[in-house]
Amino acid sequence: MRTIDSLGDVAGKKVLVRSDFNVPLKDGVITDDGRIRAALPTLNRLLDAGAAVIVMAHLGRPKGQVNLDFSLAPVAARLAELLDTEVFLADDVTGPSAVAAAEELEPGQVLLLENVRFDPRETSKDDAERGELADELAALADVYVSDGFGVVHRKQASVYDIAQKLPSAAGELVVKEIDSLSKVTSDPERPYVVILGGSKVSDKLGVIANLLTKADSLIIGGGMAFTFLAAQGYGVGKSLLEADQIDTVKGYLAEAEKRGVKIVLPIDVVVAPEFAADAPATVVPVDAIPEDQMGLDVGPETQALFASYIGDAKTVAWNGPMGVFEFEAFSGGTKAVAAALEKASAFTVVGGGDSAAAVRILGFDEEKFSHISTGGGASLELLEGKVLPGIAVLED
């Protein structure tokens, strides 16, 4: 994979950087700036080298239309604070504002293009349409750096097509992500424990299938655990259940037994009569979930069980929360996993998305984890063993 070093001297050049600034907003205020901070090493390196930096990114799902609810204005303001320099924001993606601002940009300055997904060509399935947008983006700069790991699994104009239009390379973040995630996908030090959570088994079918050939133990929590419990014959009450996946899960359980892979499921859960922050919480064994209750977290015995596997591991990958961590009463399982990872002597990777958000929201020290990925979908697809278009296009 080509790195920034392959681009040579960028002094005086205009460098187009694809970052991932898809940050959560509440009332126009950024609630987690982790992805913006993750972009700083690449941006500072280019600025220090004397480049003029043009950044493109997306926010939310504007569906190819200009929607100012998804403007990158709050991102530009926060990025300016973190870089301690002015960040100019274009009013469009490749229109008159972007073109004029790019032409006037001086070395050491930063321009942020408006939300690239305001342009429907960005996510088009038509190669020619994406290529047209990529040509317009390429006209703004001399070289391209791909640093938005959260989008490298997308075949989109600002990720894939642009890399074929300009001299291109992976940025610091993408290199770090690939290096770290390869340690848990290629030749992990054993015992290798994978923790999967989140709501649906169907979101992680390929990941589970691939990890059954790689992991020593597979810990299953979150809403997806109830489909596994149902596959073992347990009643799950009103808990989230994908009944159409029960046979698939039975196949996984049989395959794991054949391969000697331990699938670790909850032994107790925290239940409530409804999905609400103030719903009365009760801990019950998994064989005694009331019919009128739903499981919203793993229980204390399960937390200790999961922690014991983490403590014995040499490599751990975690993707997906153990419960509804946004509600205090149902955050214990996710906290327990994060705390066990924080203390572990293993190489620990937190696989982006809700897991990474949980680490920050629940107040854990990010420095205590070997790597916290910025890409939920991208890290999942790597764990699944897929080729990522935005990475493949950067390889010689």
- Contact by Cβ (8 Å): 252, 234: no
Beta sheet of 282-285, edge-to-edge order? 282-285, 268-272, 294-298
User: DSSP labels for 295-318?
Assistant: EEEE-HHHHHHHHHHHHH-SEEEE
Q: Which residues are annotated as a binding site?
A: 20-22, 35, 58-61, 117, 154, 204, 295, 326, 352-355
Tell me the C-alpha to C-alpha distance, in Å, between residue 185 and each of 168, 341, 381: 25, 18, 11
250, 377, 385, 386: the catalytic one is 377
Q: Which residues are annotated as a binding site for (2R)-3-phosphoglycerate?
A: 35, 117, 154
- Contact by Cβ (8 Å): 324, 275: yes
Beta bridge partners of residue 55, listed in sequence order: 17, 112
Query: Active-site residue 35, yes or no?
Result: yes
Tell me the C-alpha to C-alpha distance, in Å, between residue 75 and each of 21, 57, 81, 87, 317: 7, 10, 10, 10, 30
13, 35, 130, 214: the catalytic one is 35
Query: Active-site residue 311, yes or no?
Result: no
Query: Active-site residue 353, yes or no?
Result: yes
200, 262, 314, 368: the catalytic one is 200
353, 375, 376, 390: the catalytic one is 353
Query: Active-site residue 200, yes or no?
Result: yes
Q: Which residues are annotated as a binding site for ATP?
A: 204, 295, 326, 352-355
> Alpha carbon 53 to chain centroid distance?
24
Active site members: 35, 200, 353, 377
